Amino acid sequence: PECNGARLNEVARFVRLEQDKKQIAIHEIAALSVSEAKQLISGFKFDKQAALITRDIIPEIIQRLHFMEEVGLGYLHLDRSATTLSGGESQRIRLAAQLGSNLRGVLYVLDEPTIGLHDRDTERLLQTLRGLVDLGNTLVVVEHDLQVIQAADHVIDMGPGAGVHGGNVVAAGTPAEIKANNQSLTGQYLS
């Protein structure tokens, strides 16, 4: 009740950043979406001591927000509780964190990362995943999305049905090879 939902103690609520003769509190920035926060923080200008203090911090924050946009999470509000995120959103947040690490030679296993994504965000996610591969990483993606299957280097179609009716490799190869396989439901889907 004292913080009116800011979830900050009294001292933290008094911290303000001054930009364009406006004062912005930490909790007001946290209430923004990833894209809105990136835009706001990109416009921050500091001088003297503040510029020295923020020299490395601001670019790092902007880069992390950029990675979140890259994986289709620009709409998320920064103050949203992690417990309210979908599995796909949580997975994409972890992926955004990995993008910042620039690791090479890593095996990533993703379970339906496109769940809940708009088509344009799926395309951005695919570009991000391709970037991880280009860095020398390996991705194993369990996915049913047509765009993702078509963008794959290699597809393994499991089946012939779901659950206890599956578990066998029905087809394996490039998306074009799967498409030409009459035994594959995925091939029928692709064609």
Report whether 82 contacts 94 (CB < 8 A): no
Q: Please confirm, yes or no, whether 112 is among the known catalytic residues.
A: yes
Instruction: Count other Cβ atoms within 10 Å, centred on residue 120.
Output: 9
Among residues 2, 10, 89, 112, the one annotated as catalytic is 112
Per-residue pLDDT tens over the stretch 139-184: 999 999 999 999 999 999 998 888 898 889 999 999 999 999 988 9
Per-residue pLDDT tens over the stretch 99-112: 777 789 999 999 88
- d(Cα 14, Cα 8) in Å, to the nearest integer? 10
- d(Cα 128, Cα 51) in Å, to the nearest integer? 32
Pairing type for strands 138-142 and 107-111 reads: parallel
